[in-house]
Amino acid sequence: MTAPVVTSAGGVTLIGGGAVSERDLEQALALAPLLVAADSGADEALELGHRPSAVIGDFDSLSEAARDLLPPGALYRVAEQDSTDFEKCLTRIEAPFVIAVGFAGRRLDHTLAALNVMARLPAPNVLLIAAEDVVFLCPPALSLDLPIGSRLSLFPMGPSQGTSHGLEWPIDGLDFAPAGASGTSNRVTGPVRLTMTGPMLVMLPRAGLAAALAGLGFTA
């Protein structure tokens, strides 16, 4: 088991080297104020005026300028190349939940790799912020309080089945799979209750971030 290098009693914001806006980072930090960077995510954080408490990764893309601005004790180099920097970070952070920014947007392969890590670990305490969405792995049972008419999408990362209440198109009896059925662009009709077996990603509008945290049992 990998020993944590970052331990927090509250949420952690994890920033990657992908597309990150000031809005992304401020939304995450408002709920998870401890900032950790994945490799060149430190450059993104510094560019936006924030100094990460720790930087974890293989450092193949961390700039010399960023290294010079950070104390050596904040740098945790993980040399192995068998995992992504996202996975290196998640397996070394011990916290109730992690809000990840900068892992979607610029390169599709990096986005897919991050979603793969979330499904494979599995990591039901990780919420990834994308341009228009917040994405997280569905636990076996999930309750969400969302506005009527909100978009809720389900995308399977493996064979999955479930039940639903509060969705315009119920999922009961459906067999989901990456190369088969998915549940994109469903709509909320009331309090949402889901049960799920198999790895299923839930995608909500970004305005649903606080509701997602509450549904997963976390408080900021």
CATH value at residue 192: 2.60.120.320
Q: What is the pLDDT of residue 80?
A: 83
**Do residues 211 and 188 lie in contact, with contact meaning Cβ atoms separated by under 8 Å?**
no
Q: What is the pLDDT of residue 220?
A: 67
Same-domain pairing of 111 and 15: yes
Q: Please, what is the average pLDDT of the chain?
A: 94
pTM above 0.85, yes or no: yes
Q: Map residue 113 onto helix, strand or coil.
A: helix
**Residue 1 confidence (pLDDT) above 70:** no
CATH value at residue 19: 3.40.50.10240
Q: State the total domains in the chain.
A: 2
Same-domain pairing of 85 and 46: yes
Q: What is the pLDDT of residue 107?
A: 80
The answer to the question of residue 219 being in a domain is no
pLDDT digits (tens, 9 = 90+) for 138-148: 999 999 999 99
The last residue of one of the domains, among 110, 131, 152, is 131
| Number of neighbouring beta carbons within 10 Å of residue 206 | 15
Range of the structural domain that residue 200 is part of = 141-213
**Residue 3 confidence (pLDDT) above 90:** no
The last residue of one of the domains, among 61, 96, 131, is 131
Q: What is the pLDDT of residue 110?
A: 86
Share above pLDDT 70 across residues of the chain, in percent, rounded to a whole number:
99
Of 164 and 131, more confident? 164
pLDDT digits (tens, 9 = 90+) for 54-82: 999 999 999 999 999 999 899 999 988 88
pLDDT digits (tens, 9 = 90+) for 110-126: 899 999 999 998 777 99
